[in-house]
Amino acid sequence: MQVLAQHPKFQDVEVECSMFPDHAEQLFQVYLDLTEAKGFENVSVIQAPLLGRCLIEGKNVDNGNDYTVLPVLVTETWSLEKMQDVFLSLDKEQDLRLKTAASFKITLALIAADSTLTYVNLYRGVPPEPKDTPPIST
């Protein structure tokens, strides 16, 4: 974590990285991507002790949507059960922002070994039909 601490933006997430050191690098990488590369506004880090890590919330200025992002490594094993457990854990968190996110959707920030980030929306239940997609005709 000493290398991370040399970055000027590290102070923004230092407390959270200290609380969850196993996920510090992922948190900081996604935080930098959202704030510096993607230009998100109103970015804040939310502690999720029941998950043992933090999530990041912010507004995408390109589309005006708010996102709650969970940084994860692509090497982590995910299943339907794990996804359901994430939503159930968020339901039980004290921070109301997490309960709100858990009611509908979170975004996974999948981090590859080469530092590539891929963002995937994870919906609770059946996702809504995209607005610009016409219904399937019979």
- pLDDT value at position 9? 67
Contact 56, 30 (CB under 8 A): yes
Residue 100: band (very low, low, confident or very high) from pLDDT cuts 50, 70, 90: confident
93-103: average pLDDT: 81
Beta-bridge partner residues of 118: 110
Residue 64 is predicted with a pLDDT of 87
Residue type at position 18: S
Mean pLDDT of 79-87: 90
- pLDDT higher than 80, residue 105: yes
Contact of 24 with 31, CB cutoff 8 Å: no
pLDDT at 24: 78
Both tokens of 126, joined, read 């059946």
Percentage above 90 pLDDT, the chain:
29
More confident residue, 104 or 13: 104
pTM of this structure: 0.82
